[in-house]
Structure 1
């Protein structure tokens, strides 16, 4: 497009009082020859917006540089449509609210930020949304238990067609064998008899829901709104095109055969909670050893859970399930002795009422770690434990039945490991840590990166409880219920509804060419200049979301609707052939080069901060909001993800004479903070290669540093920036200044 740039400087919120606005405007008009440059007391006001709209209508302005507040605020006010190029320059939070008013360094900082914004605006083009062919907005639900049925019902109620696939011949899943569920409504004191038949009827009788039973997914290929699903159902094959997928295959109880230390297998009357549930449903709780009715019962909680030898995690629902079963037993026979041995009673929220009612019923609670389940010599059992508080031994009265509350294992965790990044003969193994992918035959994805969604360390499909619940590392696929995390029935139904809504968001946004979380609404997508591709495979290996497949020659095959627009592939590419219309390696490089670097004798070093837009940049905004101050040598460049950092930016900055580069990225590790999963970790890996660049330029490695921060670390950022500036003073000025 032929651009006509308009630069607009807001003087409100203290900007006009702190800066020489006329000198700032001169940067735009004299240095960058901007034909339209105006200032206004409050650009975010109705009058300010009209000023801009009038220039677009009368002056032909189609590229806007708005120097005002943070781009994270007033986004609705400064939205002039997707056909306009818009760049926001943060003068408020990053300049006048975090640096002294009227100071020379503050003025230089503001002028540099305007230069950076104008440079970026010149380079940017309006994104053209990707539009696929034969797009589908149907929702595939895999699993016909409580979670799957709820997700299907909710998606259909919202007006979307649903395809439901269940491996059994009948719907209902685990719930088919359940007597009752924990209370779902006030006063939350009594078990609830769930109307499973009613839910099944709602699903099977809905005109928008197509149900396959006795079925499994043979293959899924494609991408959001273009998923092609092959289904095997009772010996026949069917093909469906869907837009998004809800994975609701549930969990299985932990294998009690491994709990021999709790008497399972050694004593017939030691059973699991799910077996007791079946007895309650059948109407008769008996001792397996002799078939006689059980007169007393002891529950052992955390049977295999929170145990490094078995399940390291809490299975969330075991305590509540045992409370519910104990209440049922007491309702059937108030005189029955019922014991519950527990380490910590995790009856959160409204379940506290159920816990209190069980106490009133006379259930005996023993807080201790169970050490042995033994025969008392008469055929009955005793439970021995060590009291948590007194550390003294405890032994129960003789009981007829011992019930182990075993934990949950996600169905996604069942299977063998798959390594997608195994190098072929003659290929160099990449440093990027491989995802953990288990071949569990749930989705059978036709992805180069593996057949299932990646798992966390406990085998649950990847999801982050802060940044993207319901999301997986495969765009458009949303795990829900106990396949995703241990949870009770009520939460599973909420989870199902949430996943259905995420699936709906996905198909609606994808149909418009927009990205889903976390860059929701982004119309850009990566473009590949294939003529220079060397088939190095770094983009396919490093993409956190499996958005790029490969052909037989190793050429990347991008799937734009899988893409989350993080730019990790752009940072990975050594040939720099991947770019976005509004974000590219050359663009950021030119922004760095636009920074004015004073001569060495002026003793005004320059620091470039590449700040992740998800945590580091908002944290810097928080610094400004609290009027905290930091070193004025800093120039912040927001990046989509630190994983999009290309090493050429380091070389560009140092060659320009920049004295130091600080990379501010999200925290990474097992409980990662990074919104793009691996971005910060990849940047950390690339840091090892930065030394090669510095050695080539004969520069000190202390000039480049990476810091992991979250948005809550804003209070520490001024000190981090000041400490880095102090370290650079010790290192000395960049010898490339002036070249």
Structure 2
């Protein structure tokens, strides 16, 4: 299938950077196409409980952006889609997109009757495996598009041998015969807004993830604290669902480490400071310990750091965590850390540990046939690209949401300039 609507800006990635790039370009009159591999838009921001600088829930901003997309005929969206190839030059790119079947068509009203009869469960990737969904599921409660999707991965949905969801759907919205299709887009420019993935915490053997039951990652913590998360906003430790009273935050879990991620992930310090407020707000008797190498709170965020430092129930210790073990009886994590200021090794038993795992660029491990050039850390090297190839947000470097939005506006302007030069 070939796109015949004329040249567009193709934005690869439907997270906050990709959405902003496409929307800003379209509202300036340039046709934009969003290509997102997930069955929903919103990216990592949709998984947060709150984000800087206002510490507001992400749905308030995402809902506005989804409305802007719906109202703008110059924006096309492909979810559950992946780039097969990008060929050509500025003003004359040919972008091939594979659209994978979601097995639920546009007739879906998200009524949920299908979920009630589905017998199969799957790990909920949106909540980082903390809970489960059925094989047919809505990615999250503000999912865009607001449509269910079937996980047809091996060993999940058995397809027509079950078909209970098909039988119960009164809108004929479920199509188990749906096939993948390929679309070719004529593009004046291509913007990579491919974002990031949390670094695999299991690769750091000494930090106990996957072995010590009550060690979680910072993104898992975001889902725990979120009202629409697996624990409905209650911070409960995984082993026994007990309300936590003491939490240790381990900074630079994989970042600034030549054996893992050589770069600083930029936002981890602020994320842990923010999450310390989640802990403190959950119960006035809670206590948080933050173990860090350096605390980085640039510019206006320094005031937030000072606010957290003023809380006597948040203890900040400069030192690198050597290991995390488990108390066999209580399942409490035991943190061993070098206290640099005190000049000694200390151990601390807590209810739960949160690892501030770093940002790994999604393109680093993606199987995408493109002509984009990456730097030594796997981020898009903005200065090395051919004309008409741009990047936005964390695809270029670790950034917070505010900086990513600013960068996305810049990418939209560059994309428009490529269209004008066409």
Find the aligned partners of 1:210 and 1:353 in 2 and give their Cα distance: 41
2:378 is paired with a residue of what secondary structure?
A: coil
Q: Does 1:305 align with 2:255?
A: yes
- Are 1:136 and 1:226, in contact at CA under 8 Å, matched by a contact in 2? no
Q: Which residue of 1 aligns with 2:323?
A: 372
Per-residue CA distance 1:338-374 (angstroms, 9 max, x = gap): 1111110011111112212212333111111111222
1:320 is paired with a residue of what secondary structure?
A: helix
2:86 to 208, 215, 220: 220
Q: Does 1:473 align with 2:362?
A: no
Q: Which residue of 1 aligns with 2:351?
A: 400
Find the aligned partners of 1:268 and 1:378 in 2 and give their Cα distance: 11
How far 1:257 sits from its partner (Å)? 0.8
- Are 1:372 and 1:384, in contact at CA under 8 Å, matched by a contact in 2? yes
2:194 is paired with a residue of what secondary structure?
A: coil
How far 1:267 sits from its partner (Å)? 0.5
- Are 1:135 and 1:226, in contact at CA under 8 Å, matched by a contact in 2? no
Q: Which residue of 1 aligns with 2:114?
A: none
Q: Does 1:146 align with 2:16?
A: yes
How far 1:412 sits from its partner (Å)? 1.3
Find the aligned partners of 1:199 and 1:333 in 2 and give their Cα distance: 34
Q: Which residue of 1 aligns with 2:34?
A: 164
2:274 to 312, 324, 330: 324
Q: CA separation of 1:347/1:288 partners in 2, compared to 1, >3 Å: closer, same or farther?
A: same
- Are 1:270 and 1:402, in contact at CA under 8 Å, matched by a contact in 2? yes
Q: Which residue of 1 aligns with 2:343?
A: 391
Find the aligned partners of 1:326 and 1:349 in 2 and give their Cα distance: 20
Find the aligned partners of 2:266 and 2:352 in 1 and give their Cα distance: 23
2:57 to 162, 168, 193: 193
1:454 to 362, 370, 373: 373
Structure number with the bigger relative contact order (C-alpha 8 A, sep ≥ 6) is 2
1:353 to 295, 300, 303: 303
Find the aligned partners of 1:209 and 1:325 in 2 and give their Cα distance: 35
Q: Which residue of 2 aligns with 1:249?
A: 194
- Are 1:135 and 1:243, in contact at CA under 8 Å, matched by a contact in 2? no
1:460 is paired with a residue of what secondary structure?
A: coil
Q: Which residue of 1 aligns with 2:403?
A: 491
Q: Which residue of 1 aligns with 2:77?
A: 211
Q: How many residues align?
A: 331
How far 1:385 sits from its partner (Å)? 1.3
- Are 1:172 and 1:200, in contact at CA under 8 Å, matched by a contact in 2? no
1:201 is paired with a residue of what secondary structure?
A: helix
Find the aligned partners of 1:317 and 1:285 in 2 and give their Cα distance: 21
Q: Does 1:240 align with 2:175?
A: no
How far 1:182 sits from its partner (Å)? 2.2
Find the aligned partners of 1:391 and 1:243 in 2 and give their Cα distance: 59
2:310 is paired with a residue of what secondary structure?
A: helix
Per-residue CA distance 1:225-258 (angstroms, 9 max, x = gap): 1112222223222222111111111110111111
Find the aligned partners of 2:343 and 2:296 in 1 and give their Cα distance: 21
TM-score (norm 2): 0.74
Unpaired runs of 5+ in structure 2?
102-179
Find the aligned partners of 2:36 and 2:195 in 1 and give their Cα distance: 11
Q: Which residue of 2 aligns with 1:549?
A: none
Per-residue CA distance 1:547-584 (angstroms, 9 max, x = gap): xxxxxxxxxxxxxxxxxxxxxxxxxxxxxxxxxxxxxx
1:151 is paired with a residue of what secondary structure?
A: helix
2:244 is paired with a residue of what secondary structure?
A: coil
- Are 1:263 and 1:373, in contact at CA under 8 Å, matched by a contact in 2? yes
Q: Which residue of 2 aligns with 1:338?
A: 288
Q: Does 1:294 align with 2:219?
A: no
Unpaired runs of 5+ in structure 1?
1-133, 185-190, 416-439, 445-450, 512-739
Find the aligned partners of 2:82 and 2:324 in 1 and give their Cα distance: 41
1:181 to 51, 57, 65: 51
Find the aligned partners of 2:92 and 2:404 in 1 and give their Cα distance: 28
Find the aligned partners of 1:135 and 1:289 in 2 and give their Cα distance: 54
Find the aligned partners of 2:322 and 2:412 in 1 and give their Cα distance: 44
2:407 is paired with a residue of what secondary structure?
A: helix
Find the aligned partners of 1:414 and 1:368 in 2 and give their Cα distance: 31
Residues 510-529 of structure 1: pairs in structure 2 closer than 5 A: 510-511=421-422
Structure with the largest fraction of strand? 2
Structure with the largest fraction of helix? 1
Find the aligned partners of 1:483 and 1:212 in 2 and give their Cα distance: 19
RMSD of aligned residue pairs (Cα, Å):
1.9
TM-score (norm 1): 0.43
Q: Which residue of 1 aligns with 2:157?
A: none
- Are 1:217 and 1:232, in contact at CA under 8 Å, matched by a contact in 2? yes
Q: CA separation of 1:137/1:236 partners in 2, compared to 1, >3 Å: closer, same or farther?
A: closer
The runs of at least 4 aligned residues of structure 1 exceeding 4 Å deviation read 134-137
Give 1 or 2 for the bigger CA radius of gyration: 1
How far 1:199 sits from its partner (Å)? 1.7
- Are 1:269 and 1:402, in contact at CA under 8 Å, matched by a contact in 2? yes
How far 1:375 sits from its partner (Å)? 2.8
